[in-house]
Structure 1
């Protein structure tokens, strides 16, 4: 649940304008196919919830093939396996996979309207390990196994350009129950190009949950907004991000366990 579909927009912005077209009425559903992958070495300062500062390696990938649009990543925490890290006793890995099925390509119909360029059946899966059971029979909620199901879109927003917007229902795979909804959006805006062709971008996302059930969440709503400034070349990227939280993941903020506030991220990327 660390971040949303930012890198996919990064790649889309660097491709020809035809990639943004949603018209598959000619039957060629592979006209916009592409794929990419990259490694990000990152450090988080006071990440919420819990004000955790730690290093991690992120293996990130995505692409398009026919009706399928995919984004995903795998995070590896505490690379040196230091016993003093605040991730020492936490799960070593976190995985996110976000497959979407293009309704335009599936039906070979142009479903665009107004600023909406393309529509999707959107899914999202978050995992950080198998669910475990406590001695009292309750599920260990530190294990994240969530799935999201809903409607996705690509929309054209003034100045920002192509923006992803998805609306989901959350099905908790640990609790075997539905628990509220999530709105997710992401953007990527190059705003300054250097003489050598590299550029600086403003990129970010918003994930907002609402309608969370009282029996599962101490807050009925919550979310986060990430704002990043990144320098990009063909092979490398270096960036800084500021992330603002409010009762993240439906956890009510308290003095003993912070879920509202600000965290900072720095990253160095190699693109394959």
Structure 2
């Protein structure tokens, strides 16, 4: 993880100095830039959306295994969430589906073609995929599209992906909800902005997912964006994140179901 952390800090410093994007280097051994990381997070949420207004809010404590890395032409990020770890009747997930999985593998088109596809602030171009499984009854979404690593002032390297969405299975009983149904733009960032004398640091990290053009469910678009402040050492992290939901998953914000608003996330992390 220390190697990964140093890579992220270097990317941030380069952007701050207005350094132009540099091409991915696949000359010689394509595995020379490989890395991998894995961490366990214990998360406590307050008002995670969507939730039934009759329940008065969704508060839960859950366990998350989060991982990622690079191997040759492949770039990977993913996590597995196990909800209601304390078997609490106060959790919205109590005695319901307790697992959610997200996998986001990408294939470097630079490495695959042997060509330098960088331009302007774009460092590298990918064939991007995304899979969301579980969490709500019958949820199984697959996304495919193009991705890029983009150098953004101050932020450093930001991952961006533009997908076409395919609903393999869905919690919506409308038959139009299945099949090719909508598009999604996703971006994520990790910006260390203060480093202590012992090498630990504070970061601003988060993501944005915006889906639009859906024929179903009820709302044609939905937004989720997360903004976190975290303290990191080589082995531990502690943080708070504020997430804004707007008609999340395309679910209408109604008198019965709240799908727009803010949620709070507190986490403690152990890094392997």
Q: Structure 2-normalised TM-score?
A: 0.86
**1:262 aligned partner:** 262
Structure-2 separation of matches of 1:99 and 1:122: 7
Q: SS at the partner of 1:71?
A: strand
Distance 1:195 1:146, change over 3 A: same
Give the aligned partner of residue 155 of structure 1: 150
Equivalences for residues 1-272 of structure 1 within 5 A:
12-14=7-9, 22-24=23-25, 26-50=27-51, 51-128=57-134, 142-174=137-169, 176-213=178-215, 216-272=216-272
Structure 2: distance between partners of 1:159 and 1:192: 13
Q: Residues of 2 paired with 1:177 and 1:98: CA distance? A: 19
| Corresponding residue SS for 1:32 | coil
In the alignment, structure 2 segments of 5+ residues that lack a partner are 15-20, 52-56, 170-176
SS at match of 2:202: strand
Judged with a 3 Å threshold, the aligned counterparts in structure 2 of structure 1 residues 12 and 186 are, in CA distance, closer, same or farther, namely farther
C-alpha change, 1:181 and 1:172, in structure 2 (3 Å) is same
Alignment check: 8 A CA contact 1:190 1:202 kept? yes
| Distance (whole Å) between structure 1 residues aligned to residue 214 and residue 130 of structure 2 | 17
Report Cα offsets for 1:179-221 as digits up to 9, x if no partner. Answer: 10000001111111112111111111110001111xx221111
Aligned partners of 2:261, 2:79: CA distance in 1, in Å?
A: 25
- Structure 1 residue 84 displacement after superposition: 4.0
Once the two structures are TM-superposed, the CA of residue 89 in structure 1 deviates from its matched residue by 2.8
**Structure 1 residues 24 and 207 mapped into 2: Cα distance closer, same or farther (>3 Å)?**
same
Secondary structure at the aligned position of 1:26 is classed as coil
Runs of at least 4 residues off by over 4 Å: 9-12, 14-18
Distance 1:40 1:183, change over 3 A: same
What CA RMSD, in Å, does the superposition of the two structures yield over aligned residues? 2.1
Q: CA shift at 1:23, angstroms?
A: 3.2
| 2:174 corresponds to | none
For normalisation by structure 1, the TM-score amounts to 0.86
Number of positions where the alignment pairs a residue of Structure 1 with one of Structure 2? 250
CA distance in structure 2 between the aligned counterparts of 1:95 and 1:241, rounded to whole angstroms: 20
Q: Is the 8 A contact 1:27 1:108 kept in 2?
A: no
Cα distance, 1:24 vs. partner?
Answer: 3.6
Contact 1:54 1:85 in 2 (8 A): yes
